[in-house]
Structure 1
Amino acid sequence: MAVTLLLDSPGTGSVAVQQSPLAELCACLHVFDEPGHHPASAGWVARAHAELDTALLATAAVWAPLWGAFRARYLLPLSAGSRRTLDDELREVAGLPIGDFVAMTAQALIGKNDTELGPRLGDDVLHRLRLISSSRMEIGARLRADPEGVRGELLDFLAAFAAAAFDAEWPALRRELERDGALRERELRRKGAMVLADFPTASVAGSATGSATGSATGASPGRLRLVFDKLYNATARVDDHRPCLLVPTVHGRPHFVIKHYPGYPVVIQYSADGTTTPTLETARRRLAALQDPTRLRLCYAILRNPVATAELATQLGMTAPQVSRHLRRLREAQLVHTHRRGSVVYYQLDADAIERLGPDLLSVLYR
C-alpha cells in the first residue's frame, strides 16, 4: 500500500519547506498522549506534566483523538507562505470554512481518509464513532450540534496549552527546525521536486506518459510519480496551484506524516534529525528472516564476533553453500554487517537492528 504523489516536472518549484509552530505544538500534544513511543521527548513530557494543572491535563485527554496517529488536517499548514507565528496559524484555523473544519475533524476521529465525509455529520458517522470509542462519539455529537462552538473550544485549549507548556520550548525548537529547513532548502534548490525522493520511504515510479498507466492515474504526460510506503492507498496531485509543503518536526519523530486533503496543500511532516521509520517491506523481510530456526542459530553464532562462512558451516554442521543461502537472507533483511580480509568475507549480526525490530515494527504500524 502506498501514497502516490503526481508532480509536474522536477523543476516547477511546487515543493517548499515550511516551518509550523502549530504542527510542532500538536506533535508535542501527540507525544504527551503517547509518551511510550517517543522516548526522545521524555524530558519535555516530564516538564509538561509538572507545569500543567489538572484541568488542562483533563482537557488535553478529551481532545487527544485530533492529534493521534491520524491527526486533523488543520493542525498542519493550511496554506503556503512566509513564516507564521502560532497566533497566525490559529487564526487561519478560525477562518477555515466550517464545512471543511467538520469534515477534517470527522476524518481524524474516524482515522481514515474518507472523502465521503461531508460538512454535516449524519447518524452513520456517529454510529461509526460509537463503535470506535464513546469519547470520539461524544466529540462527534458536539460537533454536529455546534461546530463553531467546538472549534472555539479547541482553539482556546490550544492557545492555553501553548502558553503553559509550549511557548517557552518553542525558541529552541525553532532553531533546530531552522537548521534542518536550511539544509532541505539547499537540496531543494539543487534537485527541485526530486528532493522528495530522498525520503527513505519514497521511491520514484517513473513518469506518466499518457499510456494506460497515465490515464488510470489522471496524470499528464511527463508527470513524475513518487510513491511513499504507507499503510493505505491514496493518490494526490502536486502542482503550482497545490504545492507540497515539507514540515520538519522535532517531537514528531519517528513518524512520517502525509496529508492530502482535497483543495489544500499536500503536507509532509518528517523528523528534523533524519530519524526515519523503516519501510513496511523492510520490517516484513526482517521478521521473515528470523522465523527460520537455522537463521536464528546463525544469528547466535555471529552475535559477538565476526565469523567466516566456512567456520559457520563447521559450527552448524552444514555445507558452505547452505550457510551462504541463509546469510544472504539475513543480508537482504539488513540484519548483518560484512567485511572482507583478503579473499575471506566475515559476517557479524547487527545487534542494533535486532534490538530495534520491536520499536521499528510499532513505528511502521503507527505510520
Structure 2
Amino acid sequence: MAVTLLLDSSGTSSAPASIASIAVQRSPLAELCACLHALDEPGHHPASAAWVARAHAELDTALLTTAAVWAPLYGAFRARYLLPLSAGPRRTLEEELREVAELPIGDFVAMTVQALIGKNDTELAPRLGEDVLHRLRLISSSRMEIGARLRADPEAVRAELLDFLAAFAAAAFDAEWPALRRALDHDAALRERDLRRKGALALADLPTAAHPSGTPPRIVFDKLYNATARVTPDRPCLLVPTVHGRPHFVIKHYPGYPVVIQYSEPEGDGAPTLETARRRLAALQDPTRLRLCYAILRNPVATAELATQLGMTAPQVSRHLRRLREAQLVHTHRRGSVVYYQLDADALERLGPDLLSALYR
C-alpha cells in the first residue's frame, strides 16, 4: 500500500511541476501539535521524553486533562487544519490559528471527522449523521463525545479547540519555540538546497519514498493505505520539518488544499519500510528457510555444502537463498568461483523494532 504523488501540471497554470510546486514551510502550529501528540503517547517518542517530563512537572492538571480530551485531533492521523492550510510566507502561531478560525465550517467538520475516524474518506462529512457517531462510538467514547459536540455546534468546538491551543502554547510551547525554530530552519535550509539541485524529484529523498518510472513523474511513499494526489503549481506540496514528530511521517492530501508532508530525518542508517518488514516476515514463514538461517547464522557456508547439510539439491537451496537475499537477510561474498552465504543477524534482530517503527509512521 502506498500514497502516490503525481508531479504534473493539471491545474490552471501551464507550468510543469517543478521546484515552484514544492515549498519548505516551517509551522509553529504543526510543531505545537507534534509536542501535544508526544505528550499523549510518550512511549512512541523517546526523543521528546525530556520535554514531556517537564510539561508534566510544570503544567496544571486542568490543562493536561484538556490536552488529553483533544488528543484524537493531533494523533498519528492528524487533523488537516493542524498543518499549514496554504502556501506562503512564514507565519506566526497566532496567524496560523487565525487561518483555522477562518476555515469554512464544512471543511473544519470534514477534517475533524477524518481525524476522529482515522480515514481519508471525504464522503463522511460534513454529513455527520448517526452512522458516523456509531463508528466513533466503536472506536472510543472520547472520540464519540467530540463527534456529538461537533454535530451539535461545530463553531463552538472550533472556538474551544483554538482557545486550548493558544493557552497550551503560552504555558508550555512558546518558550521552547525559539530553539525548535533554529533546528527546523537548519533542516529546512538543507531541504531547500536539495530542491534547488534536484527540483521536484528531491521528494524521493524523503523517508520511505521511491521514484518509479512513469508519466507523469511520480513519488511513491510506503504507507498503510492507498491514495493518489496531484502536485501542481496550483496545488503545491508543502514540506513541513518536525523535531517532536519523529518517528511519524504524515502525508495529508485533502481536496482543495495543498498536499502537506510532515517529516523528520530518520535516525541511524535510514527508515525501515513496511514492505521490507513484510518481505522478511514472508521469507521466514517457510520451515526450510528457517533451517537455512540456522545453518548460516554463525559462519558463511557455500550452496553445495548447504545442500548436503539439508539433504536437498543445490538448485532447491539456491531458490530459498534467493528469497532470503531479496528480503535483505543474508550477506554474500565470493572466493574464486564459490559464493558463501551468511545470515544478517542484525537485520533479523531489528525486524521487530523495524516493523513497529514502520507501523508508527
Match of 2:209 in 1: 202
Match of 1:334 in 2: 328
Q: 2:179 aligns with which of 172, 175, 180?
A: 172
* 8 Å contact from structure 2 (residues 247, 360) kept in 1: no
CA distance, structure 2, for counterparts of residue 46 and residue 345 of structure 1: 53
Please give the per-residue CA displacement for 1:166-208, whole angstroms capped at 9, x wherever unaligned.
Answer: 3333333322222221121111111111112223533334444
Q: Does 1:47 align with 2:74?
A: no
Flag the 1:307–1:161 CA change in 2: closer, same or farther, 3 A: farther
User: What is the CA-CA distance between 1:48 and the residue it aligns to?
Assistant: 2.4
Helix, strand or coil at the partner of 1:13: helix
Give the structure-1-normalised TM-score. 0.86
Task: Give the length in aligned residue pairs.
Answer: 353
User: What is the CA-CA distance between 1:115 and the residue it aligns to?
Assistant: 1.3
Aligned residues: percent identity? 86
Helix, strand or coil at the partner of 1:136: helix
Helix, strand or coil at the partner of 2:217: strand
Unaligned runs of 5+ in 2: 9-15
Q: How does 1:137-176 map to 2 (within 5 A)?
A: 137-176=144-183
Q: Does 1:290 align with 2:297?
A: no
CA distance, structure 1, for counterparts of residue 23 and residue 199 of structure 2: 9
Flag the 1:123–1:316 CA change in 2: closer, same or farther, 3 A: same
Helix, strand or coil at the partner of 2:122: coil
Q: How does 1:221-300 map to 2 (within 5 A)?
A: 223-273=216-266, 277-300=271-294
* 8 Å contact from structure 2 (residues 28, 177) kept in 1: yes
Give the structure-2-normalised TM-score. 0.88
CA distance, structure 2, for counterparts of residue 185 and residue 123 of structure 1: 46
Q: How does 1:82-121 map to 2 (within 5 A)?
A: 82-121=89-128
Match of 1:219 in 2: none
User: What is the CA-CA distance between 1:323 and the residue it aligns to?
Assistant: 3.7
Please give the per-residue CA displacement for 1:305-347, whole angstroms capped at 9, x wherever unaligned.
Answer: 5455455556555555444333322221112233445555444
CA distance, structure 2, for counterparts of residue 76 and residue 142 of structure 1: 23
The code of the aligned residue for 2:163 comes to D
User: What is the CA-CA distance between 1:285 and the residue it aligns to?
Assistant: 0.7
Helix, strand or coil at the partner of 2:70: helix
CA distance, structure 2, for counterparts of residue 206 and residue 319 of structure 1: 38
The code of the aligned residue for 1:329 comes to R
Flag the 1:306–1:153 CA change in 2: closer, same or farther, 3 A: farther
Helix, strand or coil at the partner of 2:4: strand
The code of the aligned residue for 1:280 comes to L
Q: Does 1:324 align with 2:318?
A: yes
Unaligned runs of 5+ in 1: 209-222
The code of the aligned residue for 2:51 comes to W
User: What is the CA-CA distance between 1:243 and the residue it aligns to?
Assistant: 0.3
* 8 Å contact from structure 1 (residues 10, 224) kept in 2: no
User: What is the CA-CA distance between 1:287 and the residue it aligns to?
Assistant: 0.3
Q: 1:357 aligns with which of 341, 348, 351?
A: 351
The code of the aligned residue for 1:194 comes to L
CA distance, structure 2, for counterparts of residue 77 and residue 85 of structure 1: 11
* 8 Å contact from structure 2 (residues 17, 232) kept in 1: no
The code of the aligned residue for 1:68 comes to G
User: What is the CA-CA distance between 1:149 and the residue it aligns to?
Assistant: 1.7
CA distance, structure 1, for counterparts of residue 302 and residue 283 of structure 2: 19
Q: Which moved more, 1:188-197 or 1:331-340?
A: 331-340
User: What is the CA-CA distance between 1:105 and the residue it aligns to?
Assistant: 0.6
Flag the 1:206–1:332 CA change in 2: closer, same or farther, 3 A: closer
- What RMSD over aligned residues (CA atoms) do the two structures have, in Å? 2.5
Please give the per-residue CA displacement for 1:144-173, whole angstroms capped at 9, x wherever unaligned.
Answer: 222222112212222222233333333333
Match of 2:43 in 1: 36
Q: Does 1:18 align with 2:25?
A: yes
Helix, strand or coil at the partner of 1:278: coil
Please give the per-residue CA displacement for 1:242-289, whole angstroms capped at 9, x wherever unaligned.
Answer: 100111222222222110011110001112346764333222111011
Flag the 1:53–1:248 CA change in 2: closer, same or farther, 3 A: same
The code of the aligned residue for 1:256 comes to F
CA distance, structure 1, for counterparts of residue 45 and residue 295 of structure 2: 33
The code of the aligned residue for 2:95 comes to D
Helix, strand or coil at the partner of 2:163: helix
The code of the aligned residue for 2:145 comes to E
Please give the per-residue CA displacement for 1:211-270, whole angstroms capped at 9, x wherever unaligned.
Answer: xxxxxxxxxxxx323332322222222111110011122222222211001111000111
Please give the per-residue CA displacement for 1:73-105, whole angstroms capped at 9, x wherever unaligned.
Answer: 011111111222222222221222222111111
